[in-house]
Amino acid sequence: MNRRGFLGAAAALGASLSVRAAPLVGHPIPDLLPPSRSRRVVIVGGGWGGLTAARHLRDLAPELDVVLLEKNPEFWSCPLSNKWLANLVETRVLVHDYAAAARAYGYTFIQAEASDIDRDKRRVITARGAIDYDWLVLAVGIRYDFEAWYGDDRRAIDHTLANYPCAFIPGGEPFALKKKLDGFKGGDLVMTLPPMPYRCPPAPYERALMIGRLFQSRRIKGRLILIDPNPTIPGFGRTFAEQYKDRIVHVSQARVKSVDPFNKTISTDFDDLRFDDAILMAPQQAGDLVWKTGLIARDAAGKPTGWADQHPVHLHAREDERVFLIGDLMGAVSPLFGQYPKSGHMANRLGRIAAREIAARARGIAPEKLMPESVCYVFTKADPMEVTRIDSQYRIRGDGLIVQTVKQSYDPNPMDEDLRWARSMYGEFLALKEQ
């Protein structure tokens, strides 16, 4: 595991937020790869969606040239990372080698950050050169919407990223957060939750349980204060009250109005609050590149929704059938329930569908209408562990709208189902054998 690689990537994250799109005219950009002898699919983002699309494209359409661009040096798994923060999972379970997956499946991996897309010329722009594509898959995940708190105050944004990481994006943040928790001596640790929709809705509550457990086991005289704009997910409220009465204070349906990260104060609908330390989860949106590419959906009033504008079934951008938009960056797919759950399992299934879509188009065949599904294991108790499994299924009904069915099953005696689930996923898209 190369921890230094991730810490370097964290610094790059801060830097990337300030980069503006380079002008695409006037400066010839060299080619990063020689012209392909076959048609080329470029996938930007080596997370759960992008890696899955790369693997399945190689299986389904070996005649296509597949290139994966990822800015981080190694894969980092957000799933299981809450357990890792509490030392219940080892780092080696979460960090994996991109180059090994690319070798196993036969695609090209390039570590580079895409800074822009020229959709007219079908070119992806990076600092190292440009790559032409026939089809593009954007799987760049999310970004933090700090503008909601700070406007364009770059100093406040950088200070927050450097001092109050929330680790919802792969890279250096999880290591910085772990260091913070390992060194926490006591006092009020505040965790702000983002408003819905955001990545993996149960994750902040699960993290709260893990932090409560850490405080308890280390006898830390401290409180975790959750500032939560959403209604609580059932199960967690009871556990907070029963198991961590003196450790976790859950302030539900409280919206963050403003944050002063220098004076350590947060202003909410209810109150102003001072903190000793914090995990600041800003609102979330589709990743930067979707904004730069101009593929963000707009609401009826013409205001950007913050999320991508993709076809609900075929997953290509509504205004560009050469660009596929998958994973957590996606916007609403149905007026009946809005967005798909932002989960790794869902991103994996969407990656499979995008691969089938592109393989069919490359052969001039009409693509099938395929639906994804999602499975999520959520800890609703930390000591002893109890798990709720959430299954979400989808179908297209007669009028063409996508319908969602959600089933929950409760498991009072979990046997590492989450670990087995994650390993089977890594097996599929990282070519990993049992660890």
Ligand X SMILES: Cc1cc2nc3c(=O)[nH]c(=O)nc-3n(C[C@H](O)[C@H](O)[C@H](O)COP(=O)(O)OP(=O)(O)OC[C@H]3O[C@@H](n4cnc5c(N)ncnc54)[C@H](O)[C@@H]3O)c2cc1C
Which residue ranges make up the site for ligand X (CB under 6 A)? 44-50, 69-72, 78-79, 81-82, 113-114, 139-141, 168, 170, 199-200, 203, 287, 289, 327-328, 342-345, 347, 376-377
Q: How far is the CB of 119 from ligand X (least distance, A)?
A: 15
Considering the complex, state which of residue 127 and residue 263 has its C-beta at the smaller distance from ligand X: 127
Strand 186-192 and strand 277-280: the pairing is parallel
User: What is the dihedral angle through the alpha carbons of 157, 163, 169, 170, rounded to the nearest 10 degrees?
Assistant: 130
Q: How far is the CB of 279 from ligand X (least distance, A)?
A: 11
Q: How far is the CB of 9 from ligand X (least distance, A)?
A: 8
- Residue 194's φ and ψ, nearest 5 degrees, are -75, 155
Considering the complex, state which of residue 157 and residue 347 has its C-beta at the smaller distance from ligand X: 347
Other beta carbons less than 10 A from residue 309's beta carbon: 21
Q: What's the CA gap between 79 and 220, in Å, rounded?
A: 26
Considering the complex, state which of residue 63 and residue 350 has its C-beta at the smaller distance from ligand X: 350
Nearest residue (beta carbon) to ligand X: 47
Considering the complex, state which of residue 401 and residue 431 has its C-beta at the smaller distance from ligand X: 431
Dig out the tokens for 402 from the structure: 């996508």
Q: How far is the CB of 272 from ligand X (least distance, A)?
A: 28
Q: What's the CA gap between 283 and 74, in Å, rounded?
A: 26
Considering the complex, state which of residue 64 and residue 166 has its C-beta at the smaller distance from ligand X: 166
Q: How far is the CB of 22 from ligand X (least distance, A)?
A: 13
Residues in a beta bridge with 285:
143
Other beta carbons less than 10 A from residue 219's beta carbon: 7
- Measuring CA to CA, how many Å separate 398 from each of 212, 265, 335, 401, 402? 47, 52, 15, 7, 9
Considering the complex, state which of residue 48 and residue 107 has its C-beta at the smaller distance from ligand X: 48
Q: How far is the CB of 48 from ligand X (least distance, A)?
A: 4
Dig out the tokens for 98 from the structure: 């991109």
Considering the complex, state which of residue 49 and residue 283 has its C-beta at the smaller distance from ligand X: 49
Q: How far is the CB of 270 from ligand X (least distance, A)?
A: 26
Considering the complex, state which of residue 260 and residue 320 has its C-beta at the smaller distance from ligand X: 320
Closest CA to 96 of 430, 418, 428: 430
Count CA atoms within 13 Å of residue 325 on its CB side: 31
Considering the complex, state which of residue 246 and residue 416 has its C-beta at the smaller distance from ligand X: 416
Q: How far is the CB of 262 from ligand X (least distance, A)?
A: 26
Q: How far is the CB of 42 from ligand X (least distance, A)?
A: 11
Q: How far is the CB of 293 from ligand X (least distance, A)?
A: 10
Considering the complex, state which of residue 95 and residue 140 has its C-beta at the smaller distance from ligand X: 140
Q: What's the CA gap between 251 and 224, in Å, rounded?
A: 11
